[in-house]
Amino acid sequence: MEVWRTSSFQCWYAAQRAAGNVLLGARLVWASRLAEEQSAVFFWALHVRMYVAAEDRAKDNEIVISRPDVSVVALYRPGVSLDETAVVLVREFRSSASTPDGFVHELPGGSSPDQAVGAMHLQAVDEVAEEVGLRIDAARFRVHGSRQVAATVSAHRAHLFSAEISDGELTWLRKQGDRPRGAGRDSERTWVEVATYGEIRAARLVDWATLGMLAEVLGR
């Protein structure tokens, strides 16, 4: 029932029902909480048995994993060309990273207990302030909608926002690379990085999901 009550489960379940599919059964594989003192489930995994309406069959060999949705923000300063556009990233150690330096290089972002659209917008503002140290008015953010980040791995979605920054803001951010930021209470430690879109692609600096978000923002 703890998993059933999460917004992440209800969002996934609503999408399946809207497609005409039926949850025939589910077995809890594991559930994780963000901290010992928190009672609400943060991450969960269910071994499910689904009736797939479009194919008229039952499928029971997959595990659904999910967590709260995340707000992600692309901060950028346009350049002479697309490849010369400056993008603000954060570098953060993640145990799941399979990168040369053991860090992930990503857009600033994070999750909120309140998954309403307005709350995700405000969360985006807070995440930028927390992870890169820049407080940007919410009115400057463009909204790009939400999509799953890795549909074959997790059911959660990323709500994408963007904001064009000024030359002054970019200059200030370039000087923040040696100052750790993030939510220390959650063992989060982030470092600001600035790279051009061309450098990001050539150095394979980010994962495919992040590159796709940048393509959505900068392609416009």
Task: Look at residue 156 in the predicted model and tell me its pLDDT.
Answer: 94
With CA atoms as reference, report the closest residue to 74 among 135, 171, 19, 144.
144
Cα(124)–Cα(102) distance, integer angstroms = 25
- Going from N- to C-terminal start, the domains of the chain cover 7-66, 70-218
Looking at residue 70, what is its pLDDT? Answer: 93
Q: How many CA atoms lie within 13 A of 155 on its CB side?
A: 22
Which amino acid appears at position 196 of this protein? T
Task: Write out the E strands in the chain.
Answer: 22-32, 43-52, 57-66, 70-77, 86-93, 103-106, 109-111, 142-148, 157-164, 190-196
Q: Which pLDDT belongs to residue 113?
A: 65
The 10s digit of each residue's pLDDT in 23-51 is 999 999 999 987 655 668 889 999 999 99
pTM given for the model: 0.90
Fold of 70-218: Nucleoside Triphosphate Pyrophosphohydrolase (3.90.79)
Q: What are phi and psi of 67, to 5 degrees?
A: -155, 175
Q: How far is CA 20 from CA 3, 9, 52, 125, in A?
A: 22, 17, 8, 37
pLDDT along the chain (220 residues), means of 10: 92 96 96 72 94 97 94 96 97 93 94 71 89 93 94 94 96 93 80 96 95 93
Q: How many CB atoms lie within 10 A of CB 119?
A: 14
What is the overall mean pLDDT for the chain? 92
Beta carbons within 8 Å of 129's beta carbon, 6+ residues apart: 135, 136
Task: Map residue 20 onto helix, strand or coil.
Answer: coil
- At 184 the pLDDT is 65
